[in-house]
Amino acid sequence: MKLVKDFEKELSKEKISDKEAEEAFIKILKWMGENPKREGLLETPKRLLKAYKEYFKGYNEDPKMLLKKTFGDVEGYDDMVVQKNISIQSHCEHHMAPIIGVAHVAYVPKEKVVGLSKLARLVEVFSKRLQTQERLTKQIATTLMEALDARGVAVSIDAAHHCMTMRGIKKEQATTITNYYLGLFKEDLSFQNRYLRFISK
């Protein structure tokens, strides 16, 4: 944990400029055997810079701030809230290849609920970083559990990893499913089973 904090401190000192990033993309194009000065590639470093800012914008967002605004006036609602088929576009940290799939998120409120769009935004923030699917699943679940002090949280992700569909083993139809359960979803199988039925419909 200390190593991560030390690295983050160093990173904040050593801010990389847009110009330096563009120069790095030019070097990669040359390394590939391309000519960065040919017409079709002249604007590519700028386009890549813009695209990467979009792909990895999650590093500039605080997921806990998204869930800061909650609502208590739900007239005693205490059953699960399920949001399914939230699209995911992420990148794996091993090959920086796309991870494309869907997430399903559920929670059982204690006293607080959150706006429905915030569940999808939470998935988005963590997706827009270099990820492993296992960590992504857990990050969404633990952040939601802590922010809402919920009675339980469940998160499932079903995604295709292009690092194994386009390269390496090249199994185009393979998808990976991960689940993470907290509170009631972990302790009470009736909650877990109902949740799994809801997301499978």
Contact 100, 157 (CB under 8 A): no
Q: Any catalytic annotation for residue 163?
A: yes
- Interatomic CA distance for residues 22 and 189, integer angstroms: 51
158-193 burial string, b = 16+ CB within 10 Å, else e?
Answer: bbbbbbbbeeeeeeeeeeeebbbbbbbbeeeeebbe
- Catalytic residue, from 93, 134, 146, 187: name it: 93
Q: Which of 94, 134, 146, 187 is catalytic?
A: 94
Q: Which of 131, 133, 139, 192 is catalytic?
A: 133
Contact 113, 74 (CB under 8 A): yes
The catalytic position among 104, 124, 163, 192 is 163
Which residue among the candidates 91, 124, 161, 192 is catalytic per the annotation?
A: 161
Active site residue 104: no
The single residue of 91, 92, 139, 192 carrying the catalytic annotation is 92
61 is catalytic: no
Residue 173 appears among annotated catalytic residues: no
Report the distance separating Cα 158 and Cα 160, nearest Å.
Answer: 7
> Contact, 199 vs 156, CB < 8 A?
yes
Answer for the pair 185, 135: CB distance below 8 angstroms, yes or no: no
Q: Exactly one of 61, 95, 111, 162 is catalytic; name it.
A: 95
Question: What residues are annotated to the active site?
Answer: 92-95, 133, 161, 163
